[in-house]
Amino acid sequence: MSDDLCFLLAVELRARIGRKELSPVEVTRAVLARAERLQPELNCFITLCGEEAMAQANAAERQMMAGEPLGLLHGIPFTVKDIVNTRGVRTTFGAVPYKDNVPDHDAVAVARLRAQGGILIGKTTTPEFGSKCLTDSPLFGRTRNAWSAERSSGGSSGGAAVAVAGGIAPLAVATDGGGSTRIPAACNGVVGIKQSNGVIPHSQVQDTFGNQTYVTPTTRTVADTALMLQAMAGEDASDPWSIGVPVPDYLDMAAPRGDLRGKKILFCLSPPERPVSADVAASFKTSLDRLASLGAELEEFSGEGFDIEPIWRAINHTVWRTRFEKLAADHPNDLSATFLKQLALAAEVTGVDYQQAMFDRTALFRRVQALLAHGDWLAMPTLTRTALPIDQDLFGPIEIDGRSFDSVRPHWFPWTMLFNMTGHPAISIPSGFGSDGLPIGLHLVGRFRADAELLRAAALFEAASALLGRRPS
């Protein structure tokens, strides 16, 4: 029974706690017990906050029984990726030099979840500073996929996706700088959204104006994503892109009502020279058929000119070099060889290269805008194959259907980085399973700041897919 309780959706927990049918204490005790039981196998937490979480749960129960007004997330457990600040709770950034770092304030997104009654149960794993698509670090080791101990969880929000998929907590705060929410969501069969720029304020980012990173929700369903987005969205003075952005009723607008008649979806399997596994290609065709059965008109678009990894790398690695060059010089033996190699590569990027990449970023935005003036949404696979082996090296070759390719980023997730560059909302939702029994994700992209409409399309697809009952063993 306690495991069934752990797999209840956040929207259901909210309703049942509101009716006094469930106690926040009962829920929190169940998810903490499951976290402690699965942590040795999954390794998805850096810190568990058992004592603090139970104290919050007891307070939430007293408020519930007293008939006090309840927040959107009253008594609902959530986790936070260990790259996002949490007041009074260790925040390591997945890096040995920060293993004892304890912030004195919450990130804005975390503060909002707490203010709505959410109960923080722990900090989930991340590679150093969220710097790669695999979740491992000298600080904690490797995080395993929720469906197979032999496979990677993806990254960099691997711990967040594994905790959600594994039934430990229904809601997880993740981050996404190039696909870091959507990649592990696809690997672990959960929902991961990178919302439009400014929808959720990012109070920690150092370059707000050139920002391409996002604090994001990860959940099991689109309805839970809408609930989490409702609590996290809204302007804050720390983030100029958030100022003046309205907060619609995501919960209502994201409901799977009606169909997709009168809507057009533009689709592309992959950019040229980017191979896709047979399993992913078949799942994508099935997904398109499902969207068509909902009434959507489908039209293929060309992936030519969308090989954007060099643009992303020039911008992102320059940011990392600026942030971490001194840290690397002071702690060369505490940081992974992979992280140090990425910083070294940034030294090859000139100021002119960086500015050209920013010009190219603007051109990408305008090109995506032109596509979305012609269609309502874009569709593509989230990843070109299922989860990589647990010991995958970021700089090692990637295998797709028995063929070897020389680099992970452009060959495994050629689409996700694009929408960090442009700021459009993009969501990965479960779309099926490969012959290896591992999840496959569909990547849908919406118009700029039309996040609620994207959620509605995703919810309709989810309702038509009959995948919600599948759990990892």
Residues forming the active site:
81, 156, 180
Peptide bond into 238 cis (omega under 30): no
Determine which helix (DSSP H) or strand (DSSP E) holds 457, and give its type and residue range.
helix 451-465
d(CA 121, CA 342): 32
One-letter identity of residue 72? L
CB neighbours (10 Å) of residue 347? Answer: 11
Residue 263 CB contacts under 8 Å (≥ 6 apart), including other chains: 295, 296, 297, 376, 377, 457
Per the rule left: phi > 0, alpha: psi between -120 and 50, beta: everything else, 426 is beta
Strand boundaries in 286-397, DSSP class E: 297-300, 377-381
- Distance between CA 24 and CA 469 in Å, rounded? 24
Determine how β-strand 439-445 pairs with β-strand 426-433.
antiparallel
Residue 30, CA distances (Å) to 26, 57, 94, 271 in order: 6, 12, 26, 45
**∠ at Cα 41 (217, 193), nearest 5°?**
15
Phi first, then psi: give them for residue 385, nearest 5 degrees: -160, 170
CA–CA separation, 31 vs 46, rounded Å? 16
For 447, other C-beta atoms within 10 Å of its C-beta total: 20
Q: In degrees rounded to 5, what are phi and psi of residue 142?
A: -105, 145
Please say whether the beta carbons of 161 and 189 come within 8 A. no
Cβ atoms 172, 79 nearer than 8 A: yes
Q: Taking Cα atoms as reference points, which of 113, 33, 124 lies closest to residue 74?
A: 113
Distance CA 24, CA 37 (A): 20
Give residue 10's Cα distance to chain centre: 17
Instruction: Identify the three-state secondary structure at position 417.
Output: helix
